[in-house]
Amino acid sequence: MGYINTRECLDALEERGELVRIDTPVDAFIEAGAIQRRVFRAGGPALLFTKVKGCRFPMAANIYGTRERMRFIFRDTIATVQRLMKLKLNPMEALKKPWQYLGAPRTAWHTMPRTVETGPVMECEAALSALPGLVSWPMDGGAYVTLPQVYTESPDNPGFAGSNLGMYRVQLSGGEFLPEREVGLHYQIHRGIGHHHAQAIARSEPLRVNVFVGGPPAMTLAAVMPLPEGLAEVFFAGAMAGHRIPMVRHEGGLPIPAQADFCLCGRIMPGEQKPEGPFGDHLGYYSLTHDFPVMRVDRVYHRPDAVWPFTTVGRPPQEDTVFGEFIHELTAELVPSVFSGVHEVHAVDAAGVHPLLLAVGSERYVPYAEDRQPQELLTNAMALLGNTQTSLSKYVLIAAREDLAPGMSCHDIPAFLDHLLRRVDLARDLHFITRTTMDTLDYSGISLNQGSKLVLAAAGKVKRSLAAELPADLDLPRGFRDARVFAPGIMVLKGPAHRRKRDQQDPALDALGEALSQVRGIEGFPLIVVADDAAFTARDWDNFLWVAFTRSDPATDIYGAGAFTHAKHWGAKLAVIIDARLKTYHAPPLEPDPEVERRVDALGGPGGPLHGII
C-alpha cells in the first residue's frame, strides 16, 4: 500500500537514508529554493527544513529528486498500474496471462475516492500569512505554492467523475492581491480547469476551487499526469496510492483529502483578474506579469503536524524533470493507442519540454514508391498537435520508423537528429502553422499564447552527407562571427545583438542566408543556429537545445540559405538558419543571487548540514 500522507513518506525516506534534516535556520526567501536546486543537481537526498525563519511550519523539498526515489515511493503500485495500462492496449492479454492481472480489479476499486466525515486536515486553521513564503528567484513577484494540487469540479456535472486536479501555480503574496484574502491562480492554455471556469462564467457563478498541499504522494503525481480527457485525476491517484483516497465532503464546498497537509478553500469570481507574476519558470526564464484569475480564499485548513512540500523550477533539468521521466516510464506503451501511427514521442526536457517534440511514426501511405516522402508522417504530426499536452509543442521533428537503424530511439537526440538531417528535404519537408496558439510560458512568439509551429518530417533515402569541418571559404557578413561545428551537419555562429520589434523579421539574417548560399559546401550544414554566444551554445547538447528552441519562433526566426517561397510554401535549397538570439521582447533568463549562493556554499562546508552532499 502506498503512503497515506507526507509524514509517512518522509519517515520512510529518512529510514532509508534518503532524507536529511536541516536544523539550521533557513529563509524561505530565495535561500530554501537555492538549496533545493543545488541538492537536486548533486543527485542528493530529500530535505526537511525544520526551522524556517518567521514560519512555524517545516518545509520539505527534493522528495521526488531522483528516479530511484520516485520508484521507491510508488514501489507498491507502479507495476500494477503499468499492467493496467497494458490491459487497455490489449484486453486479450488478461485472458492469455490472467495471473499477471489478478491485482487489476483491486486496483480499479482503489480508484474510487472514499467519502469520510472528517480527517486530520480539518483539525486546524491558519491565516494565509502564516504559510511559508517561498520565493524561488530574485525577480519573483511574491511567494508561491510550487507543488499545489488545484481541485475543481464541473459546475454542469459536479462530483468526482467531472473533477480536475492540476498543478497550476498559486501566488500567495505580492502584487495587487489583498493580504489574507486573495491569491493568484495562473493556469496555462489548454488546461482542464479552463473548461470548468468557462462553465462557471456561462452560469454567472463563482467557480469553487480547493488547493491541496501535501498529503498522499499519489495526489501530487496525479496533478501533473497528462491523462486523457474525461478521466479524473483523483481516480488515477487512488490507483497509484494503492488505496481509496479518503475525501472529506466539506459542507457547502468541494471535497478535501483527509490526509492533506494544507487546503486553501476559495472561489474564482466571474470577471475577476489581477496581475500575476513575474515567476522564474521551467523554461529557464521569467514568465512576466499578466492578468490571471483571482481566487478569494475563504478558509485555510491544515493538519496539526503539517509539512509544506515544495520544489523550484528553472532551466532544465530540475525536479520536475524527474516527474516527466517517470510519467514517460508509465505511459510510453500507450502512445500508439492515443496517436495512431505514432510509435514514440520525446518532449525534450533540455529544451523546456513544449518547445521541442521528437517523434517516430509510420510512413506506409505509398509503400511501393521508389523514394518515399513524408505523407503519413504529416498526419501523425497533426495528430500530435491536435491532442493532449503535445498540442503545445512548437517544433515537431518526426522521422519514419521504417528508415531507423535497429534500436534507434528519438530519446537518443544526437543520433536521431543526425538521422533526420541526412534525410530531410529542406525544400519540401518544412511545414509551418502560423499565428496559432502556443505555450503560455513561451515568450518567443508574437504575443502571449500566440506564435507559430513547425513540423519537420523526414522519410526515405539519405539525401546528403553531413560535414564535420567548416567550409574552407566561409566568409560571414559583418556582425556574424565565431562559426563552429557543433555536431555533424550543425553549425553555430555568433550574431549581432537583436534590435527588432516583436513580430518582425531581421534583414540581417536574410543577408546572412544570401551570403551563405554562395559558400561552397554549405549544403553539408543543413542546420545553422545563430546565437548571442556561440561558445556557450556549442558547449554541450543541453546548451544547444535550450538556446536553439526556447529563443526562436519558427515563422519569425527561421531563415535559409537558398530560401524561397512558392504558392505559400517556404523552403530552403541549402540550409535552414534558426535565429536563436535573445530578442528585445524576450523574458530575462534566470540568474541566481550570488550572496545566497555563498550562504548555500557555507552549508556544504565542513560541519555544515550539506557537507558531502553539494
pLDDT band at 96 (very low <50, low <70, confident <90, very high): very low
Comparing 189 with 81, the larger pLDDT belongs to 81
Task: Please return the burial class of 405, using the count of CB atoms within 10 Å of its CB with bins 0-12, 13-18 and 19+.
Answer: exposed
Helix (H, G, I), strand (E, B) or coil at 310: strand
Domain range enclosing 502: 481-579
Mode of pairing for the β-strands spanning 308-310 and 59-61 = parallel
Alpha-carbon distance of 43 to 514, in angstroms, equals 47
Q: Identify whether 89 is part of a domain.
A: no
577 beta partners: 528, 559
Q: Is residue 85 part of a domain?
A: no
Please state, in angstroms and rounded to a whole number, the distance separating the CA atoms of residues 79 and 433. Answer: 40
Residue 78: inside a domain, yes or no? no
Quote the pLDDT of residue 109: 67
Whether residue 517 lies inside any domain: the answer is yes
Cβ atoms of residues 490 and 453 within 8 Å: no
pLDDT digits (tens, 9 = 90+) for 240-293: 999 999 999 877 789 999 999 999 999 999 989 999 999 999 999 999 999 999
Of all residues in the chain, the percent with pLDDT exceeding 70 is 95
Amino acid (1-letter code) at residue 107: T
In terms of domains, do 261 and 177 share one? yes
Lowest mean pLDDT among 49-53, 228-232, 525-529, 572-576: 228-232
Single-letter residue type at 609: P
Task: Give the CA distances from residue 310 to residues 263, 396, 603, in Å, rounded to whole numbers and listed in that order.
Answer: 15, 32, 20
- The arithmetic mean of pLDDT across residues 527-534, rounded, is 98
Nearest to 449 by CA among 140, 171, 188: 188
d(CA 98, CA 96): 6
Q: Are residues 271 and 367 in the same domain?
A: no
> Would residue 87 count as lying in a domain?
no
- Contact between 529 and 572 under an 8 Å Cβ cutoff? The reply is no
Distance (Å, whole) CA 579 – CA 444: 11
577 vs 86: which has the higher pLDDT = 577
Averaged pLDDT for residues 385-408: 93
Contact 581, 531 (CB under 8 A): yes
- CA–CA separation, 486 vs 478, rounded Å? 22
- The backbone region for 30, taken as left when phi is positive above 0, alpha when psi lies in -120 to 50, beta otherwise, is left
DSSP type of residue 123: S
Grid cell 538558419 — which residue? 577
Examine the domain organization and report whether 174 and 296 are in the same domain: yes
Percent of the chain with pLDDT over 90: 83
pLDDT at residue 487 is higher than 60: yes
The angle, 0 to 180 degrees and rounded to 10, between the axes of the packed helices 217-224 and 233-241 is 140
Q: Does 47 share its domain with 139?
A: yes
Instruction: Kindly report the CATH number assigned to the domain that includes residue 178.
Output: 2.30.110.10
Question: 86 pLDDT band (50/70/90 cuts)?
Answer: low
Same domain assignment for residues 379 and 423: yes
Q: HSE-up of 354 (CA within 13 Å, CB side)?
A: 26
Residue 62, pLDDT > 80, answer yes
For the chain, state the CA radius of gyration: 25
C-alpha cell at 392: 503545445
* Model confidence at 228: pLDDT above 90: no
Report pLDDT for 2.
84
CA distances from 392 to 76, 342, 433, 547 (A): 33, 17, 12, 18
Q: How far apart are CA 481 and CA 486, in angstroms?
A: 15
Residues 521 and 401 in one domain: no
Predicted pLDDT of residue 92: 40
CATH number of the domain within which 398 lies: 3.40.1670.10
Length of the chain in residues, anyone?
A: 614
Query: Is residue 454 located within the same domain as residue 491?
Result: no
Of 424 and 106, more confident: 424
- State the chain's mean pLDDT as an integer: 93
Task: Judge if 235 and 376 occupy the same domain.
Answer: no
DSSP collapsed to 3 states, 367-401: CCCCCCCCCHHHHHHHHHCCCCHHHHCCEEEEEEH
- Give residue for cell 459536479: 158
Flag whether 306 is in a domain.
yes
Give yes or no for residue 11 having a pLDDT over 70. Answer: yes
Could you tell me if residue 526 is inside a domain? yes
344 - beta bridge partners?
Answer: 360
Is 98 a residue whose pLDDT tops 50? no
Same domain, 297 and 425: no
* HEC readout, 217-249: HHHHHHHHCCCCCCCCHHHHHHHHHCCCCEEEE
**Mapping DSSP to helix (H, G, I), strand (E, B) and coil, where does residue 24 land?**
coil
Mark whether 363 and 254 lie in a shared domain. Answer: no
Task: Identify the pLDDT of residue 1.
Answer: 65
State the sign of the Cα–Cα–Cα–Cα dihedral 98, 102, 103, 107. Answer: positive
486 lies in the same domain as 448:
no
C-alpha 151/C-alpha 174 separation (Å) is 23
The residues with which 451 forms a beta bridge, in sequence order, are 436
Would 602 be classed as within a structural domain? no
Both 272 and 163 in a single domain?
yes
N- to C-terminal Cα separation, the chain: 33
How many folded domains does the chain comprise? Answer: 3
The answer on pLDDT for 94 being more than 70 is no
Of the two residues 337 and 586, the one the predictor is more confident about is 586
DSSP 349: G
Burial of 334: CB neighbours in 10 Å, binned 0-12, 13-18, 19+: middle
CB-based contacts of 603, cutoff 8 Å, min separation 6? 22, 24, 35, 609, 610, 614
DSSP class of residue 26 equals B
